[in-house]
A and B are shown apart, each in its own frame.
Chain A
């Protein structure tokens, strides 16, 4: 166990300071890069708070769609991507698209909440 602040809380602190203060110290034409860093801290904080549940649901979804069970979510994503490319899911493509909307929603909830 690490002491408080948690990793996510530390990232919140970093994001806040980068956004509110460090940005002002940087020449105008380079401030965008500070915003990128502040935003990344916020994204990682959300990712840490979200935990592993989203990846677990992606693993289930990918395995169900491709019909090939896997232990690892990246392995399952690779298998599904290949099945789609080869046309194995053509008859169920709209089902796959609906399922993948949920996968993309899970990514957006971390990376860009409110985008939808």
Chain B
């Protein structure tokens, strides 16, 4: 998969690294890191040194959060003590990366969630993770998003803004999902009290967007969904059952308890949100994941991104739908292990 080292992109990356580091790294070999849906990611290697380059696909329309903003967010996160890959240099669309993008340090570890949850050599990491995730979230949430130029601010209260966002997205997809609509309606009618403060929210904080090494959390990556919002949003999203990959009894990303995460969150300066507030955002997280599954399947159907994997997500919508409805007050169904765990895990 390694491309010839002398292509223009490799030369451009070598120049960028030389400029940022103050010394020429030598010839750079590039290989593609698969996985990014909307962005291209390359591994750049020179000798025993490694960097990661993230860029827009050349010629692609403007993306969610432009990479220039993402670069500034990663810089702010690094300054706030969040473990992130050290950001080196941003290059605009007319620069040496052939599209907008940035170069950062490579961080060793895995971001494949099932591996984090099962690999023997990551047992100690799993024990450390709940507290490390709490601490990292507290540091992210210490950042005032308004101080980062370009980060999307919400025009309305964050819970209401989330309802509007996913209703609009559902309308764009055009597939009827009555279970999601019922959950959304309930959440709209029972919003949490206004948040005491708004802050930077990562927007997709789960194992798939974290790099985990033997010592635990090594870096928080993929900031493209970051925005200004309610800090409880990131915590609720992290508790969504789909991110437990079968470890249903460990509600924080399949690795541990919410209490351990919140203790560390508070100790690192975060304000402990109420359980109801976190459940509200967990339920909204299930709305979000159900709608994203529908949108990905739709992207396959419309030919935007033909892929059996995306198509298969259309048959997974029912998983977050189930968890969403289980989090709402019970009308008649018996409480079951899994989604909400128990009556006290439900919203009221």
A contact set with B: CB distance below 8 Å = 29, 33, 36-37, 39-40, 43, 62, 65, 74, 77-78, 80-81, 84-85, 87, 89-90, 93-98, 100-101, 103-105, 107-108, 110-112, 115-116
Q: Write the nearest CB–CB distance from B13 to chain A, whole angstroms.
A: 23
For residue B330, give the distance in angstroms from its CB to the closest CB of chain A. 9
Contact A104 B182 (CB under 8 A): no
Given contacts A98-B332, A111-B318, contact A93 B178 (CB under 8 A): no
What's the least CB distance linking B295 to chain A, in Å? 16
Nearest A residue to B183, CB-CB: A97
Q: Are A36 and B331 in contact (CB under 8 A)?
A: no
B residues 169-194 touching A (CB-CB < 8 Å)? 176-179, 181-186, 189
B332 close to A78 (CB less than 8 A):
no
Find out whether the CB atom of B333 lies under 8 angstroms from the CB atom of A90.
Answer: no
Known: A93-B185, A104-B318, A107-B318. A77 touches B331 (CB 8 A): no
Question: B331 to A116, Cβ gap below 8 A?
Answer: no
Which A-B residue pairs are the 4 nearest by beta carbons?
A107-B318, A77-B176, A94-B331, A84-B181
- Asked whether any CB of chain A lies closer than 8 Å to the CB of B105, the reply is no
**Segment among B15-23, B51-59, B307-315 that sits at the interface with chain A:** B307-315
Contacts A/B (CB < 8 Å), 21 sampled: A29-B34, A36-B312, A84-B178, A85-B167, A85-B181, A87-B185, A89-B182, A93-B182, A93-B185, A94-B329, A96-B182, A98-B333, A101-B325, A103-B179, A104-B318, A105-B322, A108-B322, A110-B315, A111-B316, A115-B319, A116-B338
Residues of B285-332 at the interface with A, using a CB-CB cut-off of 8 Å, are 308-309, 311-312, 315-319, 321-322, 325-326, 328-329, 331-332
User: Contacts A104-B318, A104-B325, A111-B315 hold; do A62 and B333 have CB atoms under 8 A apart?
Assistant: no
Interchain CB contact under 8 A, B325 and A100? yes
B49 in the interface (beta carbon within 8 A):
no
Asked whether A36 and B309 contact (CB < 8 A) given A94-B329, A97-B182, A112-B319, the answer is: yes
B312 to chain A, nearest CB (A): 5
Chain B interface main SS type:
helix
Distance between Cα atoms of A10 and B167 in the complex (Å): 40
Residue of B nearest to A84 (CB): B181
- Are B333 and A101 interface neighbours, CB within 8 A? yes
Separation of A97 and B329 alpha carbons in the complex (Å): 9
A98 and B331 contacting across the interface, CB-CB below 8 Å: yes
